[in-house]
Structure 1
Amino acid sequence: MTSPVSFSALRTFVEVGRQGSIKHAAQELNVTPGAVSQQVKVLEARFGVPLLERGNREVKLSSHGLRLFARIAPGFELIDAAVQTFDERRPGPRSLVVSTTPSFAACWLTPRLGRFAAQHPEIEIRVDTSVQLADMTSGKVDIALRHGSGDYPGLDAALLLRPQLVAIGSPSLLIDGPLKAPADCLRYPLLQDRDRVDWSTWLEANGIKPARNASKGPSYADDALLIQGAKAGQGLAVVRDVYAAHALAAGTIMIAVDAPVPTKAKYFVVTRPDRLTVPKVAAFRRWILSEAGVV
């Protein structure tokens, strides 16, 4: 008689397939990497075939593993969705996980979350920050706020914001008020983005051939840090207006010169289509679109 297949081992294998990493699967399952490896080995011994191709720093599903994953992963997604549906019906606070970039969280989302909490005290928001789009199929993230083209296959993406690049500085640096022309910015120290391209992009869009010093100056990893540098009077910065809005309203920075430049990428509210009718997801989606003036 053939021995039964361990449900726990199958669940672990599916998580390794989703994450592409034993370490990350262990984090998701709240177990040790050694426990994950052992569960996969149990399956490999049971089926008599290798399910993973193990490298020095990563693992990939073998051809056998890919076939098994394709057959059983949809079943676990259905189980996860069913459990999540019943979780939604439990009394008490409901948790909503929102994934976005560190800059968007710090500059745009966080200052507004108090209004959502006032409207929906029964929903507890957890903000996760990451540069890359979170895995929306895992069920670990309810909504993602992302900057891109809006092309997210299999996901619902609603347009949230159309950002523009703006030049900013502190009132203490721009003591005579806004500058008269974009080229006047080149007379000041320039604070740079990580890739040192935003100043050149902004200047060229305003008909100015960037000078050599347009890419010189201290660089910062994200717009939130650039805005802090501008606040401190270290120089002028080019940032997305959606990040600068809160500081501009507070008067800690000002527009250096009125010459905004639209960006190609936009901000979207991203979620799984089957999650659109979940009350907490629908409530947050409706609220954030209203905050952005979309609805």
Structure 2
Amino acid sequence: MLNASLPVHLTAIASLADRVRELRDPQAIVVGTTHAFGTYWLAPRLAEFSGLHPDVDLRLAVNDELVDISKQRIDMTVRFGGGSWSSMSARFLVGCEVTPVCHPSYWDRRKRPARPADLLGEKLLDIEGRSVQGGGWSDWFHAHGIDATKGKHQITVNNFSVLMQATLSGQGIALAGSPLIDDLFASGVLVPAVDITPYRVRGADYYVVEPAGQLRKQSCEMFCAWLYDRMRRDASVTNNEHLLTEIHPPAL
């Protein structure tokens, strides 16, 4: 018969093993991120951080779920949401705004719309789930005083990377914007589908999140300093400094 306390002993052994690894490599850091932020913003810029801090062993933990980062041995994570998570310390990083975008080839056999309401007759690509948080098509149309019930030709997915792949292949128009797709805009593979000011999604920002009361490693300090500096530099290049200021949603 197995000892009833065996699971407890195994957990203690695993925790001890993790602690030993930390002592052997104090500069190691585990950073959590969503698939979208990791793919479209963080990964293309990691070479700069590694070049500045070659002794830091950086490991990425990619997950769109709200995992308990303390139990997952994650030092810090870049999380998308409203900025309030139980037992967590959250520091605002950057805001999120969206605008209708598409691949240039989408207009090969179509006339580019002159008004936002004209998008109701186009093929719209939408996203559902936690990653939306006020940034879906229904929210966008409502914010611009447009009756979205008249829309048609909509495809919905639950993953931002799939949404972007469909958009990049010319299948339709999606809502996306800074800071995630700044590189795609700069390269010209995505263009605005209509001339309109980007829509700031309130209460759906990016935060650096850590377990409350946790003593921060020196390597975490280095990564945070680089992360905020790089975000500021990018915002300056794209004229999006306004996204560096947190805007709280109106009280209900």
Q: Which residue identity does 1:208 align to in structure 2?
A: I
Q: Distance in 1 between matches of 2:103 and 2:69?
A: 39
Relative contact order (C-alpha < 8 Å, sep 6+): which is higher? Answer: 2
Question: Does the 8 Å CA contact 1:226/1:239 hold for their aligned counterparts?
Answer: no
**Structure 1 residue 190 corresponds to structure 2 residue 158:** no
Name the SS of the counterpart of 1:180 in structure 2.
coil
Pairwise CA distance, 1:123: 1.5
Pairwise CA distance, 1:178: 6.5
Select 1:231's aligned residue among 168, 178, 191: 168
Partner of 2:236: none
Q: Distance in 2 between matches of 1:139 and 1:83?
A: 16
Pairwise CA distance, 1:9: 5.2
Name the SS of the counterpart of 1:290 in structure 2.
helix
Pairwise CA distance, 1:122: 1.2
Partner of 1:213: 151
Q: TM-score, normalised by structure 2?
A: 0.76
Name the SS of the counterpart of 2:148 in structure 1.
coil
- Superposed CA RMSD in Å reads 3.2
Pairwise CA distance, 1:84: 6.6
Partner of 1:255: 192
Pairwise CA distance, 1:139: 6.0
Q: Which residue identity does 1:10 align to in structure 2?
A: V
Q: Distance in 2 between matches of 1:286 and 1:177?
A: 46
Could you list the per-position Cα deviations for residues 247-280 of structure 1 after superposition, in whole angstroms to 9, with x for gaps in the alignment? 1111100121223222121110111355454111
Pick closer, same or farther for the CA change 1:203–1:12 going to 2, 3 Å: same
Q: TM-score, normalised by structure 1?
A: 0.66
Pick closer, same or farther for the CA change 1:274–1:121 going to 2, 3 Å: farther
Question: Does the 8 Å CA contact 1:144/1:271 hold for their aligned counterparts?
Answer: yes
Partner of 2:8: 10
Q: Which residue identity does 2:118 align to in structure 1?
A: D
Pairwise CA distance, 1:128: 1.6
Pick closer, same or farther for the CA change 1:12–1:234 going to 2, 3 Å: same
Determine what percentage of the aligned residue pairs are the same residue.
24
Partner of 1:292: 231
Q: Which residue identity does 1:207 align to in structure 2?
A: G
Question: Does the 8 Å CA contact 1:167/1:239 hold for their aligned counterparts?
Answer: yes
**Structure 1 residue 269 corresponds to structure 2 residue 208:** yes
Select 1:112's aligned residue among 20, 37, 45: 45
Partner of 1:241: 178
Unpaired stretches in structure 1, ≥5 consecutive residues = 16-28, 30-75
**Structure 1 residue 156 corresponds to structure 2 residue 93:** no
Question: Does the 8 Å CA contact 1:164/1:260 hold for their aligned counterparts?
Answer: yes
**Which is greater in Rg?**
1
Partner of 2:68: 135
Partner of 2:139: 201
Q: How many residues align?
A: 225
Q: Distance in 1 between matches of 2:48 and 2:113?
A: 35
Pick closer, same or farther for the CA change 1:178–1:164 going to 2, 3 Å: farther
Name the SS of the counterpart of 1:172 in structure 2.
helix
Pairwise CA distance, 1:202: 0.7
Could you list the per-position Cα deviations for residues 38-87 of structure 1 after superposition, in whole angstroms to 9, with x for gaps in the alignment? xxxxxxxxxxxxxxxxxxxxxxxxxxxxxxxxxxxxxx7xx789657633
Q: Distance in 1 between matches of 2:155 and 2:168?
A: 14
Select 1:125's aligned residue among 55, 58, 66: 58
Pick closer, same or farther for the CA change 1:179–1:113 going to 2, 3 Å: farther
Select 1:181's aligned residue among 106, 115, 122: 115
Pick closer, same or farther for the CA change 1:120–1:113 going to 2, 3 Å: same
Pairwise CA distance, 1:187: 3.0
Question: Does the 8 Å CA contact 2:128/2:136 hold for their aligned counterparts?
Answer: no
Pick closer, same or farther for the CA change 1:6–1:119 going to 2, 3 Å: farther
Could you list the per-position Cα deviations for residues 136-172 of structure 1 after superposition, in whole angstroms to 9, with x for gaps in the alignment? 2236111111011111233221101110121101112
Question: Does the 8 Å CA contact 2:126/2:174 hold for their aligned counterparts?
Answer: yes
